[in-house]
Amino acid sequence: MTASPATLIVTNLHLVDPVADHVRPGWIRIEDGVIAATGQGPVSAAPSDEGNTIDGRGWHVAPGIVDLGVKVCEPGERHKESYASAGRAAAAGGVTTIITRPDTDPPIDTPETLEFVARRAQSDARVRVHHMAALTKERAGREMTEIGFLKDAGAVAFTDCDHVVANTKVLSRALTYAQAHGALVMAHPQEPMLSKGAVTTSGKFASLRGLPAVSPMAERMELDRLVALVEMTGVALHLDQVTTARALPALARAKANGLDISAGTSIHHLTLNALDVADYRTFFKVKPPLRDEEDRQAIVEALREGAIDVLSSMHTPQDEESKRRPYEEAAAGAVALETMLPAALRLYHADALSLPQLFRAMSTNPAKRLGLPGGTLAEGAPADLVFFDPDAPVIIDRFKLQSKSKNTPFDTARMQGRVRATLVGGDIVHGSLG
């Protein structure tokens, strides 16, 4: 980490403003860790300040990514990912805030465990870290956690991750309790019995590969149940990964009816499809499984229109031993803290999504949903920023990733988009300026 001067002006930039929905040439002034001002125009239009003015080389600057749904494997599996390695990976990928999942071993389901990981994150991670806690004890779906105490201890949301609470009575009580405490709940929209054991999406490809599959309707069915429970309890709900076209009409109706529902998707479901599994390539095994191309295109359109609010990495480290197994037995998940931005820029270069649309989903919307500062270039906002060159070529080499685990489906992929510098509170945590 490199401390920046109390006042820093970076000129010759392209300002990506997801709130104003534009990209314009200009400059940015940082004072005491916050954005003091931004302005349009060439270098000569920016103020000077005793030599603390840096040429931005024509790079783009945007609010740092707020990544909702990152797995850091402390406690229990530190060999897969630690807060130190996750912090380095996040900084290298332009992620300035990570929101961690509670699917650790043991789960983050008590105030004591939450306080342990909070201390670890504060001491080891070079980016901001906030934590979600489990909705039910041991994520077992039988008994709710102490939501009030966990919220007081700093939990920003509650989720059992991919362990769907099958008992609707238990789930409804937990949602009611969360609503009473003003807590956000994140849910996984996959009908648990239909999804159990499935490793791919049903269809011709799954049949040809002989793999156990799940219908896209499993997502729609669970989403319908969750919508009904939100209507009944009034809880604020975030759907972690909406990945199929079948689910989108139900989501649109829920939002039109004024329910407090937001939806996310993952970078892998936005940029890959079921055919990428090819010859049982386990680095492409994620949960839920990759979908058909028609679904992927529908999700891109939903993100463009704002029906899907949040784009996340769903960073899930797995070691070599758990991935180098037959496809059905291999662990699901992929690392993505470092690859999310260049992968998302594929859609920008394909004219499918604009830069403001991408950063609204990756930064502004998750910050707003969680009530966190950031996600904007507005005056007074934290100087959590990513400086990047969207056109710089990059070849992904998984062995050069900062994450301890190297399970990326983008290994050897040719992409465009390189992070040049990442700032957290005005301090440089990755790369350099000038």
What would the pLDDT profile of 88-114 be if each residue is shown by its tens digit? Answer: 999 999 999 999 999 999 999 999 999
Considering the domain architecture, whether residues 359 and 413 belong to the same structural domain is answered as: no
Distance of alpha carbon 115 from alpha carbon 75, whole angstroms: 12
Considering the domain architecture, whether residues 206 and 309 belong to the same structural domain is answered as: yes
Which residue, among 339, 219, 353, has the nearest Cα to 291 in the 3D structure? 219
Report if residue 201 sits inside a domain. Answer: yes
What are the phi and psi torsion angles at 142 (to 5°)? Answer: -110, -35
Which residues does 359 contact at the CB level (< 8 Å), separation at least 6?
16, 18, 62, 63, 65
CATH number at residue 299: 3.20.20.140
Cβ atoms of 83 and 124 within 8 Å: the answer is yes
Which residues does 306 contact at the CB level (< 8 Å), separation at least 6?
none
Considering the domain architecture, whether residues 84 and 145 belong to the same structural domain is answered as: yes
What would the pLDDT profile of 364-414 be if each residue is shown by its tens digit? Answer: 999 999 999 999 999 999 999 999 999 999 999 999 999 999 999 999 999
Considering the domain architecture, whether residues 94 and 163 belong to the same structural domain is answered as: yes
> pLDDT confidence of 246, banded at 50, 70, 90?
very high
Cβ atoms of 60 and 419 within 8 Å: the answer is no
- Radius of gyration over every alpha carbon of the chain, rounded to an integer in angstroms: 21
Considering the domain architecture, whether residues 170 and 279 belong to the same structural domain is answered as: yes
For the chain, give the mean pLDDT: 95
294 has a pLDDT exceeding 70: yes
pLDDT of residue 209: 86
* Number of domains observed in the structure of the chain: 2
Domain final residue pick, 348, 370, 392: 370
Report if residue 295 sits inside a domain. Answer: yes
What would the pLDDT profile of 323-378 be if each residue is shown by its tens digit? Answer: 999 999 999 999 999 999 999 999 999 999 999 999 999 999 999 999 999 999 99
311 has a pLDDT exceeding 80: yes
73 has a pLDDT exceeding 60: yes
Considering the domain architecture, whether residues 274 and 329 belong to the same structural domain is answered as: yes
pLDDT of residue 200: 94
Q: What's the average model confidence in pLDDT over 25-53?
A: 79
263 has a pLDDT exceeding 90: yes
Considering the domain architecture, whether residues 212 and 337 belong to the same structural domain is answered as: yes
The share of the chain scoring above pLDDT 70, in percent, equals 97
> pLDDT confidence of 7, banded at 50, 70, 90?
confident
pLDDT of residue 208: 86
Report if residue 90 sits inside a domain. Answer: yes
43 has a pLDDT exceeding 90: no
Structural domain including 395 reads: 7-61+383-431
Considering the domain architecture, whether residues 142 and 185 belong to the same structural domain is answered as: yes
Considering the domain architecture, whether residues 263 and 406 belong to the same structural domain is answered as: no
> pLDDT confidence of 2, banded at 50, 70, 90?
low
Report if residue 359 sits inside a domain. Answer: yes
